[in-house]
């Protein structure tokens, strides 16, 4: 199952040549590819037969692959996740879908205590190659229990790989890599990215263990580190800052557990400045982890200024529109933080 090849695989209904598609369609194409090529892949979760829950990412899969492989489930996050893990222990490559990761908290025992530890606690005599797809679905005045980005929680757990694609290409290829990986993987996609379009090359089967942070924009003045949606924000902020004469290097984390620091450290050594931007909370969060991880690997003389982080305010998501507007990180917040940082220094 781990055979890594970059050969093209033509799927009926899926155009294989370079094609423009959005992030949601890219996820759909990954599902199609996996379900067509690998008979041991199936999908289970709530709302799979309804675009209301999963947007465009599961369109017509039930029609094309049948309800036995696209299983719209009862309202039982814990048992469905456990069942998928049980099937993964027995040779299958299930994808469990949680249309909002707030509800995925109910499945935490199976993710954290079972899947993540199955290899280690049985001395690698067995493993649980399940993919859990947790969707961040915030905004729209949905409030405290419909909006959370809990990726950092899960990235704390050894044994659970956590993937946060920021681009359509990664949304597609890292989902495929997650399912083909021999470890349990939490794959987190973000509804706020579903509209982002990209020209995608042919599908490439990647080895997830070799995937990690990538420089998605080069620059010499400051390193911006993002993941998922905040990479998208960082890229736009970099564009804006470019017009002000500030050149940002943007590093997209892509895989947040385990974290490979080489690319980030090399970038910070070059730019001498670091701003970590994360759509989660500050305390014990991913942005602080990135800063700590980098600081341990560089000397103080490598830095021209102290590192900065941008995170959500330490509060649950509000519902009221003006509060929600104030709550989420926006491009201008990053622009302001960076220009402030460089102004202070210069």
Rounded to a whole number of angstroms, the minimum distance from the CB of residue 145 to another protein is 18
Rounded to a whole number of angstroms, the minimum distance from the CB of residue 326 to another protein is 37
d(CA 26, CA 38): 18
Binding positions for another protein, rule: CB under 8 A:
2, 42, 68, 71, 73-74, 76, 78-92, 94, 109-110, 113-114, 118-127, 129, 158-159, 161, 181-183, 208-209, 258
In the bound state with another protein, the residue whose beta carbon lies nearer, of 42 and 192, is: 42
In the bound state with another protein, the residue whose beta carbon lies nearer, of 98 and 309, is: 98
Q: Which residues lie closer than 8 Å to 334 by C-beta, 6 or more apart?
A: 224, 233, 234, 237, 275, 277, 310
Rounded to a whole number of angstroms, the minimum distance from the CB of residue 22 to another protein is 31
d(CA 340, CA 315): 25
Rounded to a whole number of angstroms, the minimum distance from the CB of residue 92 to another protein is 5
In the bound state with another protein, the residue whose beta carbon lies nearer, of 113 and 244, is: 113
In the bound state with another protein, the residue whose beta carbon lies nearer, of 112 and 298, is: 112
In the bound state with another protein, the residue whose beta carbon lies nearer, of 21 and 259, is: 259
In the bound state with another protein, the residue whose beta carbon lies nearer, of 82 and 168, is: 82
Rounded to a whole number of angstroms, the minimum distance from the CB of residue 282 to another protein is 27
| Antiparallel, parallel or unpaired: β 274-281 and 308-312 | parallel
In the bound state with another protein, the residue whose beta carbon lies nearer, of 258 and 313, is: 258
d(CA 117, CA 33): 29
Rounded to a whole number of angstroms, the minimum distance from the CB of residue 210 to another protein is 10
Distances (CA, A) of 106 to 76, 82, 111, 115: 8, 11, 10, 15
| Antiparallel, parallel or unpaired: β 214-217 and 248-252 | antiparallel
Q: Which residues lie closer than 8 Å to 250 by C-beta, 6 or more apart?
A: 215, 216, 217, 219, 223, 224, 225, 226, 231, 234, 235, 238
d(CA 344, CA 346): 6
Rounded to a whole number of angstroms, the minimum distance from the CB of residue 337 to another protein is 35
Q: Per the structure block, which two tokens stand in for 34?
A: 């996996």
Residue 306 three-state SS: coil
């Amino acid at each position: 199952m781990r055979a890594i090849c970059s050969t093209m695989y033509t799927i009926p209904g899926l155009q294989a040549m370079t094609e423009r598609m959005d992030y949601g369609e890219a996820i759909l194409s990954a599902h199609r590819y996996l379900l067509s090529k690998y008979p041991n892949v199936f999908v289970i979760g709530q709302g799979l037969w309804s675009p209301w829950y999963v947007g465009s990412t599961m369109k017509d899969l039930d029609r094309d692959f049948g309800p036995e492989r696209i299983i719209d489930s009862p309202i039982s996050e814990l048992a469905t996740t456990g069942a998928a893990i049980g099937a993964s222990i027995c040779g299958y490559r299930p994808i469990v879908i949680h249309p909002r990761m707030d509800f995925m908290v109910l499945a935490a025992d199976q993710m954290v205590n079972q899947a993540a530890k199955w290899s280690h606690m049985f001395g690698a005599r067995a493993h649980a190659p399940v993919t859990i797809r947790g969707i961040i679905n915030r905004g729209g005045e949905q409030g405290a229990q419909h909006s959370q980005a809990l990726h950092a929680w899960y990235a704390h757990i050894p044994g659970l790989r956590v993937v946060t694609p920021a681009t359509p290409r990664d949304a597609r290829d890292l989902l495929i890599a997650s399912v083909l990986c021999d470890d349990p993987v939490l794959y987190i996609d973000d509804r706020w990215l579903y509209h982002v379009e990209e020209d995608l090359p042919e599908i490439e089967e990647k080895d997830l263990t070799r995937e990690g942070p990538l420089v998605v924009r080069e620059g010499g003045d400051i390193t911006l580190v993002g993941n998922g949606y905040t990479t998208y924000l960082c890229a736009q902020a970099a564009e804006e800052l470019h017009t002000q004469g500030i050149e940002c290097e943007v590093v997209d984390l892509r895989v947040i557990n385990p974290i490979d620091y080489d690319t980030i450290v090399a970038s910070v050594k070059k730019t001498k400045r670091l701003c970590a931007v994360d759509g989660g909370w500050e305390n014990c969060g991913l942005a602080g982890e990135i800063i700590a991880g980098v600081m341990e690997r560089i000397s103080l003389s490598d830095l021209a200024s102290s590192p900065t982080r941008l995170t959500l305010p330490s509060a649950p998501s509000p519902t009221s529109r003006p509060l929600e507007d104030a709550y989420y990180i926006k491009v201008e917040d990053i622009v302001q933080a960076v220009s402030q940082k460089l102004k202070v220094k210069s």
